[in-house]
Amino acid sequence: MAAADALPGEIDEAGSRIVQWDRSTGRLRVVSDFGQATTLVLVRDGARTVGAVTIATGQDIATAPEVRALPPAADRAWKEGAGAGLSASVVLCTTGDCDLLHPAVEALLAQTHPDFELVVVDNAPASGRVRRVLGDVEDARMRIIEQPARGLSHARNAGAAAASRPFIAFTDDDAIVDPGWLVALLDPFAADPDRVIGATTGMVLPAELRYRAQRWFESRGGFPKDDVPRVWMACRPAPRPVRDFGAPGEGGPLYPVTTARVGAGVCMAYRAEALAGAGSFDVALGAGTPTRGGEDLDMFARVLRAGWAIVHTPDAVLHHRHRRDEAGLDTQVRGNGSGTAALLTKSVLEHPSTLLTLAGRLPAVAARVRPGSDRVAGTDDDTPGSLTRSEIKGFLEGPVLYARSAWSARRAR
């Protein structure tokens, strides 16, 4: 039995097939062929992302009204492919227990970028799993380093310390990157002679929509997947060259204290000097800690506070395999709540004036979580309300979990 069939999770009769279609050439690439009801189509014009739409399975993509309604890809302030001229490190953190680890590494090593290194951080070296899984990979660009201190922030810090290139990209072991992912993430940096861009983020789409839990995750928003370029500049008006990189990012009611709409840790890159100046990933936040999340959003906020801009490019595409079982999704959603509250708690402790900012945002937050909103109910009628209750529980316990996690981190140091 295949690993996908052996995992828990209820097969979704409303599941979607996932494909990428290049309308400039007509080339079709199937990402996942499990769904029967609908097809999620990522439409591209060569290296540019146009948009993602859902059509009926069996419908001709080229003539589907949803596809035909998409406008031409928005102009870019950068030259597609220019990122290939920048040397970069890619950091992938893993404990070796995800069955996508080997395919994820293969996809990274198949990048079109000509000059990068791959740093795989083994965050459970005593188990020996990572070296067993990757034992047949013979590529001089890849090296495995060990970080026995458990937690995603510990692992990312180890990867960043080991990286030797001026740009550092991060992804995870449950995601499959497109061949041009790294080049696209670096393209904005290549068009930034004034060195004001500190980080970039990309577009995160599902790798499969075979299980109900995966559809429910997307129904509640999923990962950021803006299909046009965006620019975030929290601390001062964006200089003219950066404004031209995209429309101003809409950060949500708690921005810039929280930065969930900026991007996700599975698909981000940094100028090494910006990352070093912002400091290490907070080891009291993130997977493997009581808070269960927030370390990537915390880093985005710190980079912005340091005066750097963050650019989102929809052309850097990867496909993430969401939780397949409902219990796993519930745990993830609860962690989203606790991670957000932990990040808010940290911000208030470090900058007490943040309380005034948060107080002024309460009406917007209330509107976002009102009964019937997409965030609460989801866009699909069968999205369980228990997920919202779990997120609220996580949010309420987040401050206590952060205090516990921060105390443990201080004791460990």
Q: Could you tell me if 55 and 112 lie in one domain? A: no
- Considering the chain, what percentage of its residues have pLDDT values greater than 70? 92
pLDDT in tens, 327-346: 999 999 999 999 999 999 99
**Confidence at residue 375, expressed as pLDDT on a 0 to 100 scale:** 53
DSSP class of residue 54?
E
For residues 210-230, give the mean pLDDT.
93
pLDDT in tens, 119-135: 999 999 999 999 999 99
**Confidence at residue 225, expressed as pLDDT on a 0 to 100 scale:** 87
Least confident of 27-31, 35-39, 72-76, 305-309: 35-39
3-state secondary structure 66-129: HHHCCCCCCCCCCCCCHHHHCCEEEEEEECCCCCCHHHHHHHHHCCCCCCEEEEEEECCHHHCH
Q: Which residue type, as a one-letter code, is found at position 13?
A: E
Q: Could you tell me if 43 and 94 lie in one domain? A: no
Q: Could you tell me if 90 and 131 lie in one domain? A: yes
Distances in Å between the Cα of 38 and the Cα atoms of 58, 135, 227, 236 are 8, 39, 20, 44
Q: Could you tell me if 38 and 135 lie in one domain? A: no
Q: Does the pLDDT value for residue 8 go beyond 70?
A: no
Q: Given pLDDT bands bounded at 50, 70 and 90, which one contains residue 244?
A: confident
pLDDT in tens, 167-186: 999 999 999 999 999 999 99
Pairing of the two strands 11-22 and 38-45: parallel
Q: Reduced to 3 states, what is the DSSP secondary structure of residue 310?
A: strand
**Confidence at residue 357, expressed as pLDDT on a 0 to 100 scale:** 82
Least confident of 32-36, 210-214, 233-237: 233-237
Can you list the pairs that 349-357 forms with residues at least 24 positions away whose Cβ atoms lie under 8 Å? 354/257, 357/257
User: Which range marks the domain in which residue 21 is found?
Assistant: 9-68
Residue 267 lies in a domain: yes
Least confident of 113-122, 208-217, 309-318, 355-364: 355-364
**Confidence at residue 372, expressed as pLDDT on a 0 to 100 scale:** 56
Give me the phi and psi of 383, to 5 degrees please.
-65, 120
CA–CA separation, 45 vs 315, rounded Å? 10
Q: Could you tell me if 143 and 33 lie in one domain? A: no
**Confidence at residue 15, expressed as pLDDT on a 0 to 100 scale:** 86
**Confidence at residue 204, expressed as pLDDT on a 0 to 100 scale:** 98
Residue 337 lies in a domain: no
Which residues, at least 6 apart from 374, have a Cβ–Cβ distance to it below 8 Å? 220, 221
Residue 179 lies in a domain: yes
Q: Could you tell me if 174 and 132 lie in one domain? A: yes
**Confidence at residue 275, expressed as pLDDT on a 0 to 100 scale:** 98
Distances in Å between the Cα of 4 and the Cα atoms of 10, 80, 98 are 12, 36, 11
Q: Does the pLDDT value for residue 368 go beyond 70?
A: no
Q: Which of 45, 68, 91 is the last residue of a domain?
A: 68
Residue 359 lies in a domain: no
**Confidence at residue 2, expressed as pLDDT on a 0 to 100 scale:** 34
Least confident of 21-35, 87-101, 121-135, 356-370: 356-370
Mean pLDDT over all residues of the chain?
Answer: 92
For residues 250-255, give the mean pLDDT.
82
pLDDT in tens, 278-288: 999 999 999 99
CA–CA separation, 212 vs 13, rounded Å? 8
Q: Could you tell me if 13 and 86 lie in one domain? A: no
CA–CA separation, 62 vs 320, rounded Å? 26
Q: Given pLDDT bands bounded at 50, 70 and 90, which one contains residue 6?
A: very low
Count of domains forming the chain:
2
Q: Could you tell me if 124 and 194 lie in one domain? A: yes
Cα dihedral: 239, 243, 244, 247 (round 10): 180
* 395: its two tokens: 């949010």
Residue 193 lies in a domain: yes
Residue 105 lies in a domain: yes
CATH number at residue 99: 3.90.550.10
Residue 365 lies in a domain: no
Q: Which of 280, 307, 326 is the last residue of a domain?
A: 326
Q: Does the pLDDT value for residue 369 go beyond 80?
A: no
- Considering the chain, what percentage of its residues have pLDDT values greater than 90? 78
**Which of 242, 226, 232 has the alpha carbon at shortest distance from 315?**
226
* 71: its two tokens: 């406008």
Residue 231 lies in a domain: yes
Q: Which of 41, 68, 95 is the last residue of a domain?
A: 68
pLDDT in tens, 53-62: 999 988 999 9
Q: Could you tell me if 124 and 146 lie in one domain? A: yes
First to last CA, the chain: 45
Q: Does the pLDDT value for residue 374 go beyond 80?
A: no
Q: Could you tell me if 233 and 267 lie in one domain? A: yes
Q: Could you tell me if 30 and 155 lie in one domain? A: no
Q: Could you tell me if 22 and 139 lie in one domain? A: no
